[in-house]
Amino acid sequence: MTERLIRRALISVSDKSGLTDLARALAQYGVAVVSTGGTAKALRDAGIKVTDVSAVTGFPEVMDGRVKTLHPKVHGGLLAVRDEPQHALAMRAHGIEGIDLLICNLYPFEETVAKGASFEETLENIDIGGPAMIRAAAKNHDWVTVVVDPEDYPTLLAELASTGGHTRAETRRTFAQTAYARTAAYDAAVSNWLAEELAKSGEAKPPRRRALAGRLREALRYGENPHQQAAFYATGEKRYGVATAKQLQGKELSYNNITDTDAAYEMVAEFGSSVPACAIIKHANPCGVAEGANILDAYSKALRCDPVSAFGGIVALNRTLDAEAARAITEIFTEVIIAPDASEEAIAIVAAKKNLRLLLAGGLPDPRASGLTVKSVAGGLLCNHVTMQLSTRCSFIS
Which tops the pLDDT comparison, 69 or 148?
148
Which range has highest mean pLDDT (45-54, 211-220, 238-247, 330-339)?
Answer: 330-339
What would the 3-class secondary structure string for the chain be? CCCEECCEEEEECCCCCCHHHHHHHHHHCCCEEEECHHHHHHHHHCCCCCEEHHHHHCCCCECCCCECCCCHHHHHHHHCCCCCHHHHHHHHHHCCCCCCEEEECCCCHHHHHHCCCCHHHHHHCCCCHHHHHHHHHHHCCCCCEEECCHHHHHHHHHHHHHHCCEECHHHHHHHHHHHHHHHHHHHHHHHHHHHHHHHCCCCCCCCCCCCCCCEEEEECCCCCCCCCCCEEEECCCCCCCCCCCEEEECCCCCHHHHHHHHHHHHHHHCCCCCCCEEEEEECCEEEEEEECCCHHHHHHHHHHHCCCCCCCEEEEECCCECHHHHHHHCCCCEEEEEECCECHHHHHHHHCCCCCEEEECCCCCCCCCCEEEEEEECCEEEEEEECCCCCCCCCCCC
Which is more confident, 149 or 192?
A: 149
**Cα–Cα distance between 198 and 195 in angstroms, integer?**
5
- As a whole number of angstroms, the distance between CA 122 and CA 120 comes to 5
Q: Is 204 a residue whose pLDDT tops 70?
A: no
Pairwise CA distance, residues 232 & 234, whole Å: 7
pLDDT score recorded for residue 190: 92
Looking at residue 153, its pLDDT comes to 96
User: Could you tell me the CATH superfamily of domain 215-386?
Assistant: AICAR transformylase, duplication domain (3.40.140.20)
Q: Kindly report the length of the chain.
A: 398
Higher pLDDT, 244 or 386: 244
pLDDT greater than 70 at residue 391: no
Q: Measure the CA–CA gap between 129 and 147, rounded to whole angstroms.
A: 15
Question: What is the average pLDDT across 92-108?
Answer: 92
Q: Mean pLDDT across the stretch 334-344? A: 94
The full set of domain ranges for the chain reads 4-195, 215-386
**What's the CA gap between 10 and 3, in Å, rounded?**
19
Domains 4-195 and 215-386 share a fold: no
Q: Region 340-345: what's the mean pLDDT?
A: 94
Question: Percent of the chain beyond pLDDT 70?
Answer: 95
- Active-site residue set: 139, 283
- The pLDDT-based confidence of 166 (bands split at 50, 70, 90) is very high
**Mean model confidence pLDDT for the chain:** 88
Per-residue confidence at 390, pLDDT binned at 50, 70, 90?
Answer: very low
CB 354 within 8 Å of CB 326:
no
pTM for the structure as a whole: 0.76
Residue type, 177: Q
Which one is the CATH code of 4-195: 3.40.720.10, 3.40.50.1380, 3.30.70.260, 3.40.50.1370?
Answer: 3.40.50.1380
Q: Is the pLDDT of residue 100 over 70?
A: yes
Q: Is 2's pLDDT higher than 50?
A: yes
Q: How many CA atoms lie within 13 A of 370 on its CB side?
A: 13
Q: Give residue 316's pLDDT band: very low, low, confident or very high (50, 70, 90).
A: very high
Please check the confidence at residue 218 and state whether its pLDDT lies above 60: yes
**Region 165-186 average pLDDT:** 94
What does the pLDDT look like over 21-80, one tens digit per residue?
A: 999 999 999 999 999 888 989 999 999 999 988 888 887 777 777 777 788 888 899 999
Contacts of 120 (CB under 8 A, 6+ apart): none
Question: Is residue 349 over pLDDT 90?
Answer: yes
pLDDT on residue 209: 81
Is residue 386 predicted with pLDDT exceeding 70?
no
pLDDT of 25 reads 93
